[in-house]
Amino acid sequence: MSETDTPPGPAGQLVRTGLAAAFRQRRIRESSRHFWKAAPILAALGLGLAAISLWAGWAAIPALGVLGVGFAGLMAYTLVRRRARTVTDAVAAGIDRDADLGGELRSAAWFAAHDTHDAWTDFHLDRAAVRLDAVNWLERYPAVRAPRAKLATSVMVIAALGLSMTMTDRGRLSSSPLKANAAADAAPLVPGQPLSPELQKQLADLLLAAELAGASTDARLTASAELRDLLAQLGELRDSEALKELARSMSANPILSDQMSKEMQALAERTRRASETAAMPPELRNALEKLSDNLSIAAAKEMDDSNDPVAAANAQSGETAKSKADAPSSASIQSIQDADAGAGAGMIMMSDENATPGGDPGLGAGGGSAAANGGGTMPDIAKALRQETVEASADSPGENVTTDTRHDTEHGSATITYTQSAPGAFDRSRAAAPPPVPEGRRSAVQTYFIRKP
């Protein structure tokens, strides 16, 4: 028997080629299987993210990004898995096992990859090449069908894209009020123009729907979604400059102004009530609350301006706030009802920044001092809140309780009577939200009344 060191003969080449083809087919199948295992999960992730984004009002970018990057990564992984690689002994053993060749292919692969061969090795390689050629690798490694995975992936990707497109449309509409919806098309909201009756009506309808939809989740969601759209359009009302423009435009038309101010005041009140609806999402309640504030301010300004043309003129020069400060009737009154406070716990704080040193200084920060009010420890708050009232809750006081204590004395007996106020029962139905605080002063008020630890 002769043993040579020449390269493998034709049989060895056949074994190598056949093994490489089988390995390629196996890689394709494995990568496809991995792809269709991961694709539904990825699509579900994208769909879930799109749904969450839609619910939370986020942009469509995260969902689309996850889908795009995920599938791009999956494709890259698939391509990497499919690229040509060296056939190792483990690979040959795996293919041998898959083809049920009883170890012949594994052994032949090793001999084909090495130079040493003899008559027995050649015979072994010849037979292995024949057996390898007889194997139909397309049958051994058929293409992955995965119909359910493909269907599920397609449906979820389409759904995710649909949701993302919906979000994109909403985003586009929110950035362009002219295209918000049919009502907005009819009466676009433009700074400097009064709030159109159509828009007021739509807002009122939606508020009504939101108020009445507490029992139905679907209806609540629908109303909430529509409210979000509308609030997105009304977003610019938060802009103080836009509000001034709105007030100026309304004051220019006395007839319309009076009617509009009442309507807007009513609308602000409804918006405020809607913002207190527990069934609404928190962010929607905040938005409604801000809108209510804005509408109140706009209505108040419009009313002031219609009564005081000078103030209206001053409003154009930015001195409206100062002129209104002289009128006690226009002062903002804050009534805070502390339902959990103890009986009789009530405090009224009033301040008048124009009080003379000898006069009634009123209550409040810096009151009673020779210095002008507002010069105390929190002048900014005193300045912002010209007149504030903190009232005890009407629910708090309980009935007076009289307690008599008798005891003997040297001269007989004595009676001592104590009178105290019993804790009152809190009637939640009587609780009402305080009047709206202007947006510009909200942060100061919140900071002022927060109990420091």
Partner 1 sequence: MTSAAVGPSIDLFRDRFVRITREVGRRIVGHEEVVNLTVTSLLAGGHVLLEGIPGVGKTSLVHTLADVLHLTFSRIQFTPDLMPADIVGTNIVQEHSHGGTFFEFQPGPIFANVVLADEINRATPKTQSALLEAMQDVSVSVGKTTYQLEQPFLVLATQNPLEMEGTYPLPEAQLDRFFFKLKVTYPSEESMHEILERTTTDSTTPVTRVVDKPEILEMRQVARSIPIARPVQAYAIRLTLGSHPTSPYATPLVKRYVRYGASPRAAQALVLAGKIQALNRGQAFVSIDDIRRVALPALRHRLLLNFEGEADEVNTDTIVTELLGSVATE
In the bound state with partner 1, the residue whose beta carbon lies nearer, of 1 and 56, is 1
Instruction: Please report which helix (H) or strand (E) contains residue 118, including its range.
Output: strand 117-118
In the bound state with partner 1, the residue whose beta carbon lies nearer, of 111 and 137, is 111
Pairwise CA distance, residues 327 & 315, whole Å = 15
At 362, which amino acid appears?
A: G
Q: How far is the CB of 62 from partner 1 (least distance, A)?
A: 44
In the bound state with partner 1, the residue whose beta carbon lies nearer, of 100 and 340, is 100
DSSP type of residue 388: -
In the bound state with partner 1, the residue whose beta carbon lies nearer, of 123 and 449, is 123
| Binding residues for partner 1 (CB under 8 A) | 1, 89-90, 93, 102-104, 106-108, 110-111, 114, 118-124, 126-128
Q: How far is the CB of 127 from partner 1 (least distance, A)?
A: 7
The length of the chain in residues reads 453
Pairwise CA distance, residues 219 & 227, whole Å = 12
4 in helix, strand or coil?
strand
12: CB partners within 8 A, 6+ apart: 111, 112, 117, 125
In the bound state with partner 1, the residue whose beta carbon lies nearer, of 93 and 279, is 93
Q: How far is the CB of 112 from partner 1 (least distance, A)?
A: 10
87 in helix, strand or coil?
coil
In the bound state with partner 1, the residue whose beta carbon lies nearer, of 89 and 399, is 89
Pairwise CA distance, residues 362 & 69, whole Å = 65
Whether the CB-CB separation of 207 and 271 falls below 8 Å is answered with: yes
Q: How far is the CB of 91 from partner 1 (least distance, A)?
A: 9
Residue 440 is encoded by which pair of tokens?
Answer: 């510009």
Q: How far is the CB of 109 from partner 1 (least distance, A)?
A: 8
Q: How far is the CB of 137 from partner 1 (least distance, A)?
A: 21
Query: CA neighbours within 13 Å on the CB side: how many for 144?
Result: 17
Q: How far is the CB of 56 from partner 1 (least distance, A)?
A: 51
Where helices occur in 326-389 by DSSP H, the ranges are 379-384
Q: How far is the CB of 85 from partner 1 (least distance, A)?
A: 16
Whether the CB-CB separation of 260 and 199 falls below 8 Å is answered with: no
In the bound state with partner 1, the residue whose beta carbon lies nearer, of 95 and 195, is 95
In the bound state with partner 1, the residue whose beta carbon lies nearer, of 10 and 73, is 10
Instruction: Please report which helix (H) or strand (E) contains residue 15, including its range.
Output: helix 10-56
Whether the CB-CB separation of 197 and 209 falls below 8 Å is answered with: no
